[in-house]
Amino acid sequence: MNKNFFLFLLCLTGLSGFFPACAPEKTSIKASATLSSGSPFVSDTLYFGTSTPKGPVTAKQWDSFLASVVTPRFPDGLTVWDAKGQWKGKDGVVGKENTKVILLIHLDNPESSRAIQEIIDRYKEKFGQESVMKVRTPADVSF
């Protein structure tokens, strides 16, 4: 009997768990990059509306906020880009505004979660915002 045919028969008969060549590839949504502590990475994307009761957040105000509030909490790096946002406010009116987006990849730990909440709270307080949207997802990171 041909060796490949024999392997094929074993796969068909349900013995594939014993033979790696027959086993389907397993995938996982868990973060694959970890440090020695075993803590997985997550990705937090924060959306900051720039329309305020006092007018739009200026480039100088944004740069100052980024330098004084965000960077000290995440000095290892981050990504920022401009976007156009749309949302329905508490008053039921759909609003549109320019938006700043920050992407942070970090360990999933209480310190990072606390730092992100501090960033959100400081922005809302400083610029009179109802909310800052946060989206958290597992991050499969490699360097």
Q: Where do the structural domains in the chain lie, given as residue ranges?
A: 1-27, 41-138
- Nearest to residue 44, comparing CAs of 18, 78, 10, 14? 78
How does DSSP classify residue 69?
Answer: I
| Residue 115's pLDDT band (cuts 50, 70, 90) | very high
* pLDDT tens-digit readout, 12-65: 334 434 344 444 444 344 444 444 445 589 999 999 999 998 999 999 999 999
Cα–Cα distance measured from residue 127 to residue 76, given in angstroms and rounded to the nearest whole number: 26
Number of H helices, E strands in the chain: 3, 6
H helix or E strand, kind and range, residue 44? strand 41-49
Second CATH level (architecture) for the domain 41-138:
2-Layer Sandwich (3.30)
Cα–Cα distance measured from residue 72 to residue 69, given in angstroms and rounded to the nearest whole number: 6
3 state SS of 117 = helix
Question: What strand order describes the sheet that includes 94-107?
Answer: 79-88, 94-107, 41-49, 133-138
Lowest mean pLDDT among 82-91, 103-112, 113-122: 82-91
Cα–Cα distance measured from residue 27 to residue 138, given in angstroms and rounded to the nearest whole number: 14
